[in-house]
Amino acid sequence: MYKLLKIKDVVRIPPRMFTMDPKEAAKIVLRETYEGIYDRDEGVILAVMDVEEISQGVVVPGDGATYHEVVFDVLVWKPEMHEVVEGEVIDVAPYGAFIRIGPMDGLVHISQLMDDYVVFDEKNKQFLGKETKRILKLGDEVKARIIAISIKSRVIRENKIGLTMRQPGLGKSDWIAKEKRKEEAEEA
């Protein structure tokens, strides 16, 4: 889920940035500090949007930089349990498919790809449903539900998200459309 947040913090502006506008200097320092990290409470900090307020600087003895209290906006993304997400298949392995969902990747284990016996075609790098003949390959757009979140670090790549595509309304878009047409035909 994407959110805009307002944060208050103290920023250190080094002497080499004293000739710049203080808000612009603060924005550069904040971007270097915050963007791309995972905050356990708020999620992945994608971008520092704007510095709204900046206080008069304070000089600390022994340090040539100035310290300013700032209020700024950030754009964050936090995966939520049971959230339905859309993404692209970016990698496949014998044990499952990796889906790019926003700034992170999730794994759909082979057992969670579809309600069918699934085999991995190593030669063509794709999954095949035995009875339904459904195929999932690199580049496919899919809908999935988040079923597991393992947050271990502030580094995005070290965290894991587990996904499923076995529930109704999930999977590849043409699978979903085919199921919908099948249901409409049964109702008529």
Same domain, 73 and 122: no
Say what the pLDDT of residue 153 is.
77
Scanning the structure block, which residue is given the tokens 């949007």? 49
Q: What are the pLDDT digits (tens) for 149-180?
A: 988 877 777 789 999 999 888 999 888 888 88
Do 123 and 177 reside in the same domain of the chain?
Answer: yes
**Domain boundary residue, one of 77, 100, 128:** 77
- For the chain, percent of residues with pLDDT exceeding 90: 52
**Average confidence (pLDDT) over 128-143:** 91
Res. 188: pLDDT tops 70: no
For residue 9, give the nearest of 41, 52, 44 by alpha carbon.
52
pLDDT digits (tens, 9 = 90+) for 25-83: 999 999 999 898 888 888 889 999 989 999 888 888 888 899 999 999 999 998 899 99
Looking at the structure of the chain, the number of domains it has is 2
Q: Which two tokens stand for residue 23?
A: 């808000």
Q: What is the CATH number of the domain that holds 125?
A: 2.40.50.140
Is residue 93 located within the same domain as residue 45? no
CA atoms within 13 A on the CB side of 120: 14
Same domain, 24 and 103: no
| Greatest CA separation for the chain | 80
Q: Same structural domain for residues 181 and 90?
A: yes
Q: 168 exposed, middle or buried (CB, 10 Å; 0-12, 13-18, 19+)? A: exposed
Q: Kindly state whether residues 122 and 68 are assigned to the same domain.
A: no
The pLDDT of 110-116, averaged and rounded, is: 91
Per the structure block, which two tokens stand in for 160?
A: 């894991």
Please check whether residues 31 and 113 belong to one and the same domain.
no
Same domain, 119 and 58: no
Domain that holds residue 99: 84-187
Side-chain-facing half-sphere of 22: CA atoms under 13 Å: 17
